[in-house]
A and B are shown apart, each in its own frame.
Chain A
Amino acid sequence: MNDFSIPSGFWAVLIERYDRMPSNARVVIGGFGALGKKEIMEHLKKKDEIGLLIAQIELNYLKIFKEEVEMA
């Protein structure tokens, strides 16, 4: 997991993105519970362990997507 370094501007993008999260959706993370929009926004703003995990997952997806586009 430490292979991911989060660019500083990426946090603001994430906060803006997760602000669109619908009220019924939950991100269920073992050991951390079922997180709704409010909790996720708090973790992203704090940049704590969960915030970092979410940022890594989003960045991971973007990296894979970029590789696909470049190979296409």
Chain B
Amino acid sequence: MNVLITRPEHDTATFYLSKWSEPLIKKCKNKGFRVFDLKGSKANIERFNSIVSSKKPSFLILNGHGTKNAIFGQDNKQLLSMKNLDLPGKPIIYSVACETASGLGKDAVNNGVQAYIGYSQKFIFIADQNKASRPTKDELAKPFFESTNRVPEGIIKGNTAQRAFEKAKSEFKKQMIRLRKEAKTFEEELVLKYLLWDFMFLSLLGKAEARL
């Protein structure tokens, strides 16, 4: 089983996404999957197209900035759009990139992608500037990434897209319920409000029963 992951690292958002993806790579490898890790400058369209066409990954984890119609790689250069949406092997796509589920995700499903899980609005998280060099130690960012990572963790485990999506939604809820009870500081209240936003716009498109 081949898995492709893109991890541009050129600003705070992409650096956090990249670091919080490292446990996912480990989980893939533990399952015996072959991981094609397009990190930093490797997250470019030439490498992406080459691996997609030659290795036909079954699961694509796409981190980076996004718009309704495209996902971007290193230095915000376009990685996936309608121009290269003809993906062989009917993969599952999970993307943490703003707004893509409202446009590109639908087009991807219409072009043969089995299931597309991503965000139909801006993906936003709260961060602690003092932890910017160690994103996985950032307690403000942690609830966002622990929640959204439930999607790829579920897919890697062999769950259906629907089940993985529900696990992420449940984790978002769990984090929000905890914060409703425990939030004391301004920044903890911010985490709660922005978690609700991400929770609302996490979307599943395509076949709910799709699995690896």
Contact = CB atoms under 8 A, between A and B. Distances in A.
A26 interface: yes
Interface residues of A, number: 22
A28 interface: yes
B98 A28 contact: no
Contacts of B98: 30-31
Given A21-B186, A28-B124, A29-B122, A57 B129 contact: no
Interface string B1-45: 000000000011100100000000000000000000000000000
B74 to A, nearest CB: 15
A60 B13 contact: no
A24 B126 contact: no
B127 interface: yes
A28 B126 contact: yes
A58 B186 CA distance: 13
Give chain A's interface secondary structure class: mixed
Nearest to A62: B193
Interface residues of B, number: 32
Given A21-B186, A22-B186, A60-B200, A28 B125 contact: yes
B57 interface: no
A53 B12 contact: no
B187 interface: yes
Interface of A: 1, 20-31, 33-34, 36, 53, 57-58, 60-61, 64
12 contacts: A22-B186, A25-B127, A25-B128, A25-B140, A27-B124, A28-B126, A30-B65, A34-B13, A34-B127, A36-B129, A57-B193, A60-B200
Interface of B: 11-13, 16, 65-67, 97-98, 121-130, 132, 140-141, 185-187, 190, 192-194, 196-197, 200
